[in-house]
Amino acid sequence: ALFAGDCLPCHRLDGIGRGTKGPDLGRPMNVTAYLTPAGFHALVRDPRAVRHWPAQAMAGFPPDLIGDDGIAALWAYLQLVAPRAAP
Ligand code: HEC
């Protein structure tokens, strides 16, 4: 519910959703494949604290909008839906 309400308005996930402002968080690879949990947490909390450029469009989510447990739940969700590497 958190992902659908707060992230899908701008992002897609594996092509699902209508968000067009931000990148698809599942393609070409799931964000959990190239970010660390700490890096993901820092980016969702305040993208400008991680990297910065003029056209940056994502606003951060302060603790009153999404708590630390919420960001951890988003990470767990994205990991859960990420395609598993073949054994
Ligand atoms: C207002 C639109 C908007 C919302 C809402 C939004 N994002 Fe973003 N997001 C962006 C944009 C645009 C980018 C690309 C970087 C930039 O311009 O800020 C981005 C980049 C990212 C990235 C980096 C992806 C990469 O490969 O570099 C992650 C991870 C991310 N968003 C996760 C989230 C999560 C999780 C949520 C929900 C809590 C969320 N975003 C909500 C617009 C949004």
Among protein residues, the one with the nearest Cα to ligand 1's atom 30 is 44
Atom of ligand 1 nearest to the CA of 40: 29
Domain count, the chain: 1
Cα separation, 36 vs 23, whole angstroms: 18
Question: Which residues are near ligand 1 (CB < 6 Å)?
Answer: 6-7, 9-11, 21-23, 25, 31, 40, 43-44, 47, 56-58, 61, 66, 74
Among candidate residues 27, 23, 14, 20, the one with its CA nearest the CA of residue 43: 23
User: Would 22 be classed as within a structural domain?
Assistant: yes
Domain region containing 43 = 2-52+59-81
CATH code (residue 77): 1.10.760
Residue 84 pLDDT level (bands cut at 50, 70, 90)? confident
User: Would 86 be classed as within a structural domain?
Assistant: no
pLDDT, tens digit, 9 for 90 and up, residues 33-83: 999 999 999 999 999 999 999 999 999 999 999 999 999 999 999 999 998
Cβ neighbors of 61 (< 8 A, separation 6 or more) are 6, 44, 45, 71
User: Would 87 be classed as within a structural domain?
Assistant: no
